[in-house]
A = this chain, B = another copy of it.
């Protein structure tokens, strides 16, 4: 994919890109052994996920993705996998219409991928920040959650998947190994008037906390309204966990969590339908400064999970 505005590509000291709009930039680095392991990730999946996660941050701003720059730290033992890794990145770039405008490969004792994703918005005020949530707004989420955490559990302990349909199991594993940035949904939510937006990387509860703190508001989440991916409840039961913990504390689903005035929810739903995505109202923005998760009429705590599956302390910033 070559971006229309790419004037000088890689091979020179730097890349030159024509840009006559506000530029939205996200940086994200992932490190083997910290953010992922090979296996269960293949090198191609590790590359693809690194780019997808950086693009997800652009989605969370309502930006349109344009270019990405990839810096790869490659240990000798993975030299033969370098092409597969680049292919994984290239596939996501092609699918999402992003140009890989520059890059750099370094020898490194451990594998890392540092991605810089660049997008644009029509005007700066169109970028949806974390700090715009207002009391009275609805809290909405795209797609379904819990799948990435359940997928990781199954990858680490395959016996947890006994008795679950293969299709559902494959989808759970793919949620963890091959997440997809919700770029179309992010643009649609921005157009519909989302007041704040974030991608679900740390977990719905923790990410709602980031919005609450930035916006200086309280957020109430109704656990029963949170859309949970098929198979998550079964994996949770097999692992002796509460499914709500996986759905709200699990993270890495890379769905979009947004606040939006209630009278704009219908047009947001329409916009999302236009890009093949579904929207769910899962709570509301109010006064206060905290995130409250309610289940069966009572308040409850949501412990978080880190990206290699260990349980974290309840809620709190990542």
Q: Could you list which residues of chain A lie within 8 angstroms of chain B, going by C-beta atoms?
A: 7-8, 11-31, 33-35, 57-58, 60-61, 63, 67, 69-73, 101-104, 106-110, 112, 114, 116-119, 121, 124, 127, 129-131, 197-199, 214
Contact call A57/B14, Cβ cutoff below 8 A: yes
Q: Which of B19, B71, B104, B109 contacts A110 (CB 8 A)?
A: B109
Known: A16-B25, A69-B116. 5 other contacts (CB 8 A): A13-B130, A25-B116, A28-B104, A71-B114, A112-B114
Contact call A19/B16, Cβ cutoff below 8 A: no
Inside 8 A of A23's CB, which chain B residues have their CB? 16-19, 23
Least distance between A288 CB and chain B CB atoms (Å): 21
Contact (A25, B29) CB under 8 Å given A8-B129, A69-B116, A116-B116: no
Contact call A27/B106, Cβ cutoff below 8 A: no
Least distance between A105 CB and chain B CB atoms (Å): 9
Contact call A12/B73, Cβ cutoff below 8 A: no
Least distance between A141 CB and chain B CB atoms (Å): 15
Contact call B199/A29, Cβ cutoff below 8 A: no
Contact call B106/A34, Cβ cutoff below 8 A: yes
Contact call A60/B13, Cβ cutoff below 8 A: yes
Q: Which of B25, B29, B117 contacts A106 (CB 8 A)?
A: B29
Alpha-carbon distance A101/B116, docked complex (angstroms) = 12
Alpha-carbon distance A26/B8, docked complex (angstroms) = 11
Contact call A25/B102, Cβ cutoff below 8 A: yes
Alpha-carbon distance A108/B114, docked complex (angstroms) = 12
Inside 8 A of A73's CB, which chain B residues have their CB? 29, 31, 73, 112, 114
Least distance between A69 CB and chain B CB atoms (Å): 5
Q: Which of B11, B109, B118 contacts A33 (CB 8 A)?
A: B109
Contact call A61/B29, Cβ cutoff below 8 A: no
Q: Which of B16, B35, B104, B199 contacts A121 (CB 8 A)?
A: B16
Alpha-carbon distance A60/B12, docked complex (angstroms) = 9
Contact call B116/A16, Cβ cutoff below 8 A: no
Inside 8 A of A129's CB, which chain B residues have their CB? 8, 12
- Beta-carbon nearest neighbor of A35 in chain B: B106
3 closest residue pairs by CB, A with B: A114-B114, A14-B26, A13-B60
Inside 8 A of A19's CB, which chain B residues have their CB? 19-23
Contact call A107/B34, Cβ cutoff below 8 A: yes
Q: What are 21 A-B pairs with beta-carbon distances under 8 A?
A: A8-B124, A11-B214, A12-B130, A12-B214, A13-B26, A13-B60, A13-B130, A13-B197, A14-B24, A14-B61, A14-B63, A15-B26, A16-B24, A19-B19, A23-B23, A27-B70, A27-B103, A28-B104, A29-B104, A34-B107, A73-B114
